[in-house]
Structure 1
């Protein structure tokens, strides 16, 4: 049974906060949903029929699933297992860290992979032919890669065959083998694991030997192997954060991409050094905005996905940046290369609010508004649906709080002035949309309590206003944005 959300947690989250128990509640719920999704994929494949999931693909899926189960038995979640106590009791204490095998199964990209697999295997999927007939098998092959990594992490010896697609075989959390293929080609790769050493064999090619490392990544001398890369934990003792530019499910596959996001980036050594340099100051920058901002990043951030610089940016990324989250990939933040540690800290504050609110919305119905896009939001040129307005206001409110605290804590005048400017802009933007949020008749009882807590935070921030010039410019900016929006859309809220 999925846990209930206590009033204390709803209050904390409405204030854009979240104590340790509240954050753990969100994480545990999302992890439970991730494991249920994994099981749903297996059930969907069993029910799909040979016209969608051929017998050979189903047999292979069962074998991969059995290998995953064996790996988990050898390396359990904790001393008593994941279901040894009610979820409500478990959130009252610090749960044990997941084993490497379980952490692999809870990785953010399991969500988008499972969503695609269910779309291909679900009741709405008809019989496939030609190139499309290979798509379910291609999706299910991801389970084989997970099983190979999980079994290696658990010390299970094996010999199996995996398929590289489009010239790449990605082993989640370990790295990727470049097979030299291109287009939509497929290459069979024999994988043998013995005592922490993987041997990857392709017909007519030299064997690639890969040695597992603790945590993320695996080392090899072969030029064909690219190891997974991870940034150090934000604070001493915290888990390393993968900087993943390899996994095929790290960004949306096919279909439209939000126009605010660029495509995925492939990193070279210079790019990784830049990320590491910026990352090294991010914890301090988060701390200036309050310890809870650092704590929520440590708890909720499980992966960073580098994006290319958006169109119009300079050669060094100057002049533009973008970031985002994916609801189905809880714990992952997508971002172009940040210019400074403060920029990255603000990105994490912004995006992790979306993570929190999306996770809460999976557990609690906050409103029953339709998806009609009709609301003004001063941070977007297009009309927004109510849920989008709530998401945007929530993240901007957290940024207003973050930059106010940063301004009050700053010692250098130039940094203090820059923080006040950002605070004033976000505070004015949120103030412009709060009436539409509060006045909605679509709010549920708990949703109204949540929005009321947001109003309380906005009023508290107003008790320490920014310098007058910043406030005046922010007000003028929002007024200009509303005037332009009205001219473009002429919609009445």
Structure 2
């Protein structure tokens, strides 16, 4: 079944910088599917890669990591099904310190399976299932062009209309034969032989269902993702997959030893992800991972720093929610998993735990404050000119983040209940950045990455109001980028030639649309705050912000509306932006604030024209 198209209602809501539960669910569902498509593209590219590009050993390690993910998904599914059907008085076996973990019922107390890299020890059925490989015909459906010489076909052709992951089906081939195929490194094989079918099917909770948005009285369409699948769909899977595909793509050209080493490092990240998924599911295992430049990152758990500076093998053993990390010539480190999905703790100074901020609303999940993941910012590529680099937080900085976060829900609610809903629904993690170079005290910067849907990058927000405005701003970019993946809004040239009063440089049409969209949301947000707050000083500040953002949007709307490159859907989208802009005039800012905003935009235009007007 084909994924639902963007409805007129969804397009209208998004054009108004809003988005009800059905619309937000549509964006989430589409982005989840695209991440699975990218993951499948990586698996296919690895199997078909020339041995000079991807060695047999690397290929085998990826297969074994995938087998561990399948086992984790199977156990997680079985445990969740048991939890839904047990009768009072017959509670499921507890997990963690007090029991054998959720895998106990499946293993019957037997010794844990071992998935050691390069050993071929993973179950043959898991590694070499006989599911048929989907095809990716170009030009049919909404395919994904990865920009790396790899084209991925439409979601409907591969995944149907649900979410999730289907393990390898069938009876399974002969492990020895499959192993020989991997060892031999013969290119051209389909990933389905090694990985089964990566499929977005109905979630384990069953067909239909819904996910409440705590504290809002609203629900998102579709049940929540199970933990293992949520880990596979985390925001950094997108950047990781695209980085791998660049290394595997035919367009990359001849490879040297360094390129092969970097690709091996990139693919090894999935082994760490698989180890985390299995630990979260309670699957006992023993694997060998590699600390990259002396650091082994276990996504959502933390990072281990080894004494050796280079790439170092680390044996990881999981039993009963406890990880034992073994390094050559060093004392073992024991790490214990924490409930809530983020963090693991150890008394060793070599271990840095992952941290998270509390749920935005009571009952909502924690929001990771990720300063560890190696794919949290662009690696080796150009960085946005206004953004600083990533930073590792100390306790004092984390405290400042928490202080600003603690008051953010009430500020967002002043700007409209829909701002709270979209933050709970779309925000998946925060990536700390250092303070902008040369910024004044209280200055900040923020951004999003199109390939990392759900992640917001930001320097430490000085106040809850600044933090709330950052989320409103960046989540509009998130929504518009996701919508643009689903349909074409315009066919404008990428040439940077348009004036934008919020930037000193010329902008392409798409950049102008993104900027106007996010600034329109901020104009609406601050107007609502000004009308709702009882504090005079805060009200005056909100009116000033509203007046400036509205004036900035008004300066570029004629360019957006007058473009002949808009599609029919793009025209409806921009028309809704105009409707919001006009509605804002119903409650104008105080005259002094409006006059200062007009003067600001006039000065910005004059300076821009002086710098960028064509010479005579």
Give the structure-2-normalised TM-score: 0.77
CA distance in 1 between counterparts of 2:429 and 2:322 reads 25
SS in 2 for 1:247: coil
SS in 1 for 2:243: helix
CA distance in 2 between counterparts of 1:450 and 1:204 reads 61
Residue 478 (1) aligns with residue 567 (2): no
2:373 to 247, 257, 267: 247
1:200 to 317, 325, 343: 325
Counterpart of 1:294 in structure 2 is: 420
**Superposition pairs of residues 381-400 of structure 1, within 5 angstroms:** 381-400=504-523
Counterpart of 2:610 in structure 1 is: 487
**Superposition pairs of residues 167-178 of structure 1, within 5 angstroms:** 167-178=294-305
Counterpart of 1:329 in structure 2 is: 452
Shift of 1:490: 0.7
1:219 to 345, 352, 358: 345
CA distance in 2 between counterparts of 1:180 and 1:119 reads 31
SS in 2 for 1:76: helix
1:281 to 382, 388, 407: 407
Counterpart of 2:261 in structure 1 is: 134
Q: Is the 8 A contact 1:52 1:126 kept in 2?
A: no
Q: Is the 8 A contact 2:24 2:220 kept in 1?
A: no
CA distance in 1 between counterparts of 2:27 and 2:207 reads 12
Which structure has the bigger radius of gyration?
2
2:311 to 186, 192, 201: 186
CA deviations on 1:324-381 (whole Å, 9 max, x unpaired) are 0000000000000000000000000000000000000000110011110010000000
Counterpart of 2:251 in structure 1 is: 124
Shift of 1:130: 2.6
**Superposition pairs of residues 11-50 of structure 1, within 5 angstroms:** 11-50=12-51
Shift of 1:100: 1.4
Shift of 1:90: 7.0
Shift of 1:123: 2.1
SS in 2 for 1:382: coil
CA deviations on 1:267-326 (whole Å, 9 max, x unpaired) are 011111111111000001101101100110000000000000010135xxx152100000
Counterpart of 2:73 in structure 1 is: 72
Shift of 1:3: 2.6
SS in 2 for 1:26: helix
Counterpart of 1:443 in structure 2 is: 566
Shift of 1:132: 2.0
The gaps in structure 1 that reach 5 residues or longer are none
Shift of 1:89: 6.5
The gaps in structure 2 that reach 5 residues or longer are 82-161, 165-200, 211-218
**Superposition pairs of residues 417-428 of structure 1, within 5 angstroms:** 417-428=540-551
Shift of 1:76: 3.2
CA distance in 2 between counterparts of 1:390 and 1:4 reads 22
Q: Is the 8 A contact 2:423 2:471 kept in 1?
A: yes
Residue 257 (1) aligns with residue 257 (2): no
**Superposition pairs of residues 308-387 of structure 1, within 5 angstroms:** 308-314=434-440, 318-387=441-510
Counterpart of 2:228 in structure 1 is: 101
Shift of 1:399: 0.1
Q: Is the 8 A contact 1:303 1:331 kept in 2?
A: yes
Give the structure-1-normalised TM-score: 0.96
CA distance in 2 between counterparts of 1:474 and 1:93 reads 38
Counterpart of 1:151 in structure 2 is: 278
Shift of 1:166: 1.4
Q: Is the 8 A contact 1:278 1:339 kept in 2?
A: yes
Counterpart of 2:6 in structure 1 is: 5
SS in 1 for 2:382: coil
SS in 2 for 1:203: coil
Count of residue correspondences: 486
Residue 54 (1) aligns with residue 55 (2): yes
CA distance in 2 between counterparts of 1:386 and 1:374 reads 8
Q: Compared with structure 1, are the counterparts of its residues 329 and 93 closer, same or farther at alpha carbon in structure 2 (3 Å cutoff)?
A: closer
CA distance in 1 between counterparts of 2:252 and 2:606 reads 46
SS in 2 for 1:75: helix
SS in 2 for 1:466: coil
Q: Compared with structure 1, are the counterparts of its residues 379 and 8 closer, same or farther at alpha carbon in structure 2 (3 Å cutoff)?
A: same
2:241 to 108, 111, 114: 114
CA distance in 2 between counterparts of 1:8 and 1:258 reads 33
Q: Is the 8 A contact 1:278 1:344 kept in 2?
A: yes
